[in-house]
Amino acid sequence: MPAGLLYRLPVTAILFLLGSGAAFAQVPQQTMIFPSGAQAGTTASVSIEGSNLQGATAILVSGQGVTAKIKKNDNASALPVEVTVAADAEPGEREVRVVTPRGTSNAGHLSIALYPRIVEKEANNTPSEAMSLEKFPVTIDGQANPGEDVDWFAFNAAAGEGWVFDLDGARHHSPIDGFLALYDAEGHELKTALSVEGHDPRLIYTFPKSGRYLLQVRDLLYRGGANFTYAVTVGKLPTVVAAMPLGGKRGESVEVALEGVNLGELKSLKVQMPTDPQQQTVTVVPKTPAGPANPIRLYAGSYPEVTEVEPNETTAQATRIPSIPTTVNGRIGKDGDVDVFSFTGQAQQELIFEVWAKRLGSELDSYLRILDKDGKELSANDDAVGKDSRIPYTLPAAGTYYVEVKSLDNHGSVAHYYRLEIKPPPPPDFSLTVTPDNPNVGPSGSAALTVTATRTGYNGEIALRLEGLPAGVTASPATLRAGQNQVFLALTAAGNAAVAAAQIRVLGEATIDGKKVEHAARPASTTPTQEGQAPTQTPAEMQVASVTEPPAYVLDIEPKELTIKQGQKVEITVKSVRKMGFDAAIPVAVVANALPAGVTAEVKPIPEKQNEIKFNLVAADNAGATTQNAVFNANAGGVIQDTPVIVITVAPK
């Protein structure tokens, strides 16, 4: 790892890089939930598996309508849980956390589905051993375990019936790269479906003749393990394969056209879009004569909406956009398809053209172009936000312009949908993320949080505060100062704080153009990657802070606030208070994190059988004048702890 990398990574990243699995020896960890879900309106038994789950006191589930009851809590690696799902609970994935006296776990995921569920029965590794399916529709919970495991299922279908085979793996965060294959009784392959860029496979097939058929389920690369879970739904399922438009303006009613199989007379449905500006999506379960169809997700926008009208492959055929700003709903419906839209612009009009596709789960890798009235290219973009295209552009003159959307790889299908926003530059604003999503702190100890700002035209101060902290826990003051994009704050528990867990929120407030603006930080889960690479982060639904049992040791730092001049040294002290019985012969390795640029720490470990170490902070002659929160971490015998925040001000000589 390059020198200094630790200073640039969030605290949670350092924890992963510093320690082995032993670093979290006492904190509960989930590795899987099996079965991976439950049916709406039922009660089901699942097992949460992982480590240090013994003594669990509660199960937290995100959203409404799902509760979980611990059945037995004496096993460190398996926690049996009874899940009760309300009949009107929204289908989809839910985040699950295990609370124990040693802290709150990482996120697990549970899927809420519409149909009865059964569990795969081994051995079903060959066609002759195929598990027989008798009642439909049904969701089968299975595992690709061990590696090279192949699961077979047998069923009867009649001529002319349209069946759907829908695998849920990536949706509940399983590592399985799902693969489905359909065979007839003689072993002839009829059709296959595989995961595409992390999207779960769905196979739709109309049987030409009545008979016995076989379904094969496996990982595409024949990987496997207990956590390679899947849930495959089988039957003559009412299934929406495409919906258009993909959303609507907030507060308006939208007529959504549906395409799919087994929908009967259902060709469209009316959806009321939410008015709350914080609600970005609405999930709808279409009701058909054959039962509920798969849930569809629609997106709430801020502008009037337009839906493409085919054919619109050329500027002469362009779909007209009546006004700007707008949101365009479209689809690259077949290989080679190109969508062109026309609009009237004003001289020196600043606009942003932004495609939302991959971020919505689409298979479209978009390529975006802006053309003048003669069809000449003015600007183009492939990837700007991940694989999605975005072009900020100032129109040179008043007149007609064209926007072209196509697929970079020339492929198209009903799964290549998109929303194209044409809008003015956004007003100054900011958004926040926070890690870790499960800070655990023991009495007299501290746990550091990293808050990161994404700024759009606003560069001023953002004051932070926390809501919902457990009793006895306080948060250090923290402000993202002008120009700063990251700050550390610390949760500190009083010496008499009782074991507890609570969902918390980090809020950021700023005054922008004379108005107070407040946003809640989105928690994120951090996953380690290869050495030398920054850990990846994925959004989390909950952020849970916990007061744990007393840890093996806690850290303190003195002073809590200091000023250091350019070219100067200042002495600080890091203290460790070891719990009775913790091996005093173990040295405490100390690491500095988030020091101001140009400031270094002459860090030393706390020697064995000692409880503190003094060392210098050194400011370079050219260190920039600033004030910044810093945190020190320590690792003793695989147990990692944080100091409270130290506020460091760098001043001119």
What residue type is 299 in one-letter code?
Answer: Y
What average pLDDT does the segment 633-650 reach? 91
Share of the chain above pLDDT 70, in %: 94
What the block records as the tokens of 62 is 């995100």
What average pLDDT does the segment 619-630 reach? 94
Same domain, 321 and 408: yes
Say if 64 falls within a structural domain: yes
Q: What are 167-194's pLDDT values in tens digits?
A: 999 999 999 999 999 999 999 999 999 9
Determine the 3-state secondary structure of 637 from DSSP. Answer: coil
Put the strands of the sheet holding 390-394 in their side by side order.
Answer: 305-307, 326-331, 417-423, 350-356, 390-394
Q: For 465-502, b where at least 16 C-beta lie within 10 A, e where not — what string?
A: ebeebbebbebbebbbeeebeebbbbbbbeeebebbbb
Same domain, 264 and 314: no
Calculate the average pLDDT of the chain: 92
CATH (domain of 632): 2.60.40.10
For residue 642, what is the DSSP state? E
Rg of the chain over all Cα atoms, to the nearest angstrom: 28
CA within 13 Å, CB half, 400: 13
Q: Which residue has the tokens 């196509």?
A: 406
Given 396, 423, 450, the domain boundary residue is 423
What is the pLDDT at residue 455?
A: 96
Same domain, 89 and 193: no
Same domain, 387 and 367: yes
What is the pLDDT at residue 528?
A: 58
Residue 201: domain span: 117-235
What is the pLDDT at residue 26?
A: 82
Determine the 3-state secondary structure of 624 from DSSP. Answer: coil
Same domain, 264 and 210: no
What is the pLDDT at residue 583?
A: 63
Is residue 23 scored above 80 in pLDDT? no
Tell me the pTM: 0.90
What is the pLDDT at residue 534?
A: 63
Share of the chain above pLDDT 90, in %: 86
Alpha helices (runs of H) in 174-300, residue ranges in sequence order: none
Put the strands of the sheet holding 296-301 in their side by side order.
Answer: 247-249, 296-301, 281-284
Is residue 1 scored above 70 in pLDDT? no
Is residue 4 scored above 80 in pLDDT? no
Same domain, 294 and 311: no
Given 395, 423, 451, the domain boundary residue is 423
**Extended beta strands in 457-565, E state:** 462-467, 473-475, 478-480, 486-493, 500-503, 505-512, 515-520, 522-527, 536-539, 544-547, 553-558, 561-565
Given 71, 101, 131, the domain boundary residue is 101
Q: What are 405-435's pLDDT values in tens digits?
A: 999 999 999 999 999 999 999 999 999 999 9
Q: For 330-354, b where at least 16 C-beta lie within 10 A, e where not — what string?
A: bbbbeeebbbbbbbebeeebebebb
Nearest to 240 by CA among 296, 289, 299: 296
Same domain, 125 and 225: yes
Q: For 56-95, b where at least 16 C-beta lie within 10 A, e where not — what string?
A: beebbbbeebbebebeebeeeeebebebebeeebbbbbbb
Say if 112 falls within a structural domain: no
Is residue 2 scored above 50 in pLDDT? no
Say if 641 falls within a structural domain: yes
Same domain, 189 and 282: no
Is residue 5 scored above 90 in pLDDT? no
Q: What are 77-93's pLDDT values in tens digits?
A: 999 999 999 999 999 99
Same domain, 576 and 633: yes
Same domain, 311 and 203: no
Is residue 454 scored above 60 in pLDDT? yes
Say if 472 falls within a structural domain: no
Say if 515 falls within a structural domain: no
Pair type for strands 202-206 and 117-119: unpaired
Same domain, 227 and 137: yes
Is residue 18 scored above 60 in pLDDT? no
What average pLDDT does the segment 244-257 reach? 97
CATH (domain of 407): 2.60.120.380
What average pLDDT does the segment 57-66 reach? 97
Nearest to 243 by CA among 272, 267, 207, 217: 267
Contacts of 335 (CB under 8 A, 6+ apart): 410, 411, 412
Q: What are 586-621's pLDDT values in tens digits?
A: 788 889 888 999 999 998 888 888 889 999 999 999
H/E element holding 15? helix 11-18
Q: From the CB of residue 366, how many other CB atoms can be counted at a distance below 10 Å?
A: 26
Split into its structural domains, the chain has a count of 5
Question: How far apart, in whole angstroms, are the C-alpha atoms of residue 416 and residue 361?
Answer: 9
Least confident of 18-22, 517-521, 617-621: 18-22
Displacement of CA 30 from its chain's centroid (Å): 16
What average pLDDT does the segment 316-332 reach? 98
Contacts 24+ apart (CB under 8 A), 510-513: 510/430, 510/458, 510/460, 510/461, 510/462, 510/463, 511/460, 512/427, 512/428, 512/429, 512/458, 512/460, 513/427, 513/428
Question: How far apart, in whole angstroms, are the C-alpha atoms of residue 115 and residue 137?
Answer: 6
Same domain, 246 and 170: no
What average pLDDT does the segment 557-565 reach? 96
Say if 507 falls within a structural domain: no
Q: What are 92-112's pLDDT values in tens digits?
A: 999 999 999 999 999 999 999
What is the pLDDT at residue 535?
A: 67
Determine the 3-state secondary structure of 619 from DSSP. Answer: strand
Say if 485 falls within a structural domain: no
What is the pLDDT at residue 560?
A: 96
Say if 499 falls within a structural domain: no
